[in-house]
Amino acid sequence: MFVRWSAAIAAAILLSSPALLQGARAADKPTDPQIAHIAYTAGVIDINAAKQAQKKAKSKDVKAFAADMLRDHEAVNKQALALVKKLNVTPEDNDTSKALSKQASDKLAELDKLSGAAFDKAYVANEVAYHKTVNGALETQLIPSASNAELKNLLQTGLKIFQGHQQHAEHVAAELK
């Protein structure tokens, strides 16, 4: 049941604990159109966060990091769009995408109230946590559930990109202290 899987992933996202995702059962598999939607949404969320950071960040390193996120996630999503077009798949909205978007807009509002160094710190900390959560979802759910080989491939590249971003964010966070 996809609904149950969505509830599990939504709970995990709220708790920012990718480990919880492992509790979901194989039977709770999302479909390829749902996976494509989730992956695309995850990219859009980080693009929006980066746009906010470009306006609000104070530190040069944080601004540069936001530019890197914008560039990479736009490139991944461009590939994702080209692939769904090629495969003739229509991404399908679902509870996981909705939960991700809701949590992201709450976070944007929360960060919007901060400024200066406080914003920089909170943005980078959230980037670390967010990439960790998405990596957990990719590794334990999205990649194993994907049935189309090209989609699986793109998700695997996405995972490497996201893992790179997580490490990059951790470096930036360490420099801010």
Partner 1 sequence: MPGRLSTIAAAVVFVAMAVPAHAATIQIMMENLEMSPKDASAKVGDTIEWINKDVFAHTATARNGDFDVNLPAKKSATFVLKKAGTVDYYCRYHPNMKATLKIEP
Write out the residues near partner 1 by the rule CB under 8 A.
68, 71-72, 75, 78-79, 157, 160-161, 163-165, 167-168, 171
Nearer Cβ to partner 1, position 79 or 103? 79
Residue 150: burial class (beta carbons within 10 Å; 0-12, 13-18, 19+): exposed
Q: State the nearest-atom distance from the C-beta of 68 to partner 1, in Å.
A: 5
- 9-12 long-range contacts (CB < 8 A, ≥24 apart) are 9/96, 9/99, 9/137, 9/141, 10/95, 10/96, 10/99, 12/133, 12/136, 12/137
Nearer Cβ to partner 1, position 16 or 79? 79
Nearer Cβ to partner 1, position 90 or 167? 167
Q: State the nearest-atom distance from the C-beta of 78 to partner 1, in Å.
A: 7
Q: State the nearest-atom distance from the C-beta of 48 to partner 1, in Å.
A: 19
Q: State the nearest-atom distance from the C-beta of 41 to partner 1, in Å.
A: 20
**Rounded to whole angstroms, what are the CA distances from 135 to 55, 86, 120, 165?**
27, 25, 22, 10
Nearer Cβ to partner 1, position 76 or 137? 76
